[in-house]
Amino acid sequence: MNPQDDPEERIRQLEQLRAGQGAVELGATQPTTQPTTQLPPPAYPSPYGAPQYGVSYPQVPRRRRSVGLIFTIGAIGMFVMFGVVVAIGLNMSTQAPTREPGVAGGGGLLDPGPSVDIPEIDIPAIEPMLPGNDSVVSAPPGGSLSVAGVDGTKTVECDDSEISVSGVNNTVTITGHCALVTVSGVDNEVVLDSADTIRASGFDNRVTYHFGEPSIDATDRNVIERG
């Protein structure tokens, strides 16, 4: 009877194969011992280009740049840049055009412009009055004189002048003819010969004139009268 046709023999072969004692292929008996020679591991390509098992390649040493060389190159570059800047500045200074005084940028003479006449301002002279000081002062002919103070007494000689009286509680006597007499302040008393115009402002001032018919302009609480 052929062993391949015997079911029991087939079962025994399968059990031996499972137990690791041998392997039997259909119709053939294989040795039950495993080969003792171990295969070398598979060779995989190295990502770094060198084999993984037993072989190494000499690595190329990296070149190191000298610190002194780098410093020298930087110093030379800075020196060159400084020289270029200095040369540009000297070139611009030598090429800058010089302008003569009195000459405009377009080459023509500067226009001095129209002359301006400054009008003369008539600043009146100021004559202070000290308390109890009785003195005589002459006004400039056709000019202006200002008298001011507190509790003072003054005599003014007028020659077609403009007289201004201000302050508090002053007594002023004006002789001659005046072009204009102006009184302001408080409680001032002015007595004059004649004037073209008499004006009074402030509070409780009294003006008395002797001759003529002057133009009178007085605010409330001020009196201008002939006497």
How does pLDDT run across 8-67, given as a tens digit for each residue?
777 777 777 776 644 444 444 444 445 444 555 555 555 545 455 455 555 555 555 566
What pLDDT sits at residue 95? 60
Strand partners, 137: 156
Give this prediction's pTM: 0.48
What's residue 28's pLDDT? 46
Q: What is the pLDDT of residue 61?
A: 56
Integer-rounded Cα Rg, in Å, for the chain is: 65
Are 192 and 208 contacting, i.e. CB atoms less than 8 angstroms apart?
yes
Q: Cα separation of 156 and 165, whole Å?
A: 11
For residues 167-176, average pLDDT: 95
The helix or strand, by DSSP H or E, that contains position 69, with its residue range, turns out to be: helix 67-95
Enter the tokens of residue 79. 């020196």
Q: How many residues does the chain have?
A: 227
Write the DSSP symbol of residue 220.
T
Q: From CA 186, how far away is CA 156, in angstroms rounded?
A: 20
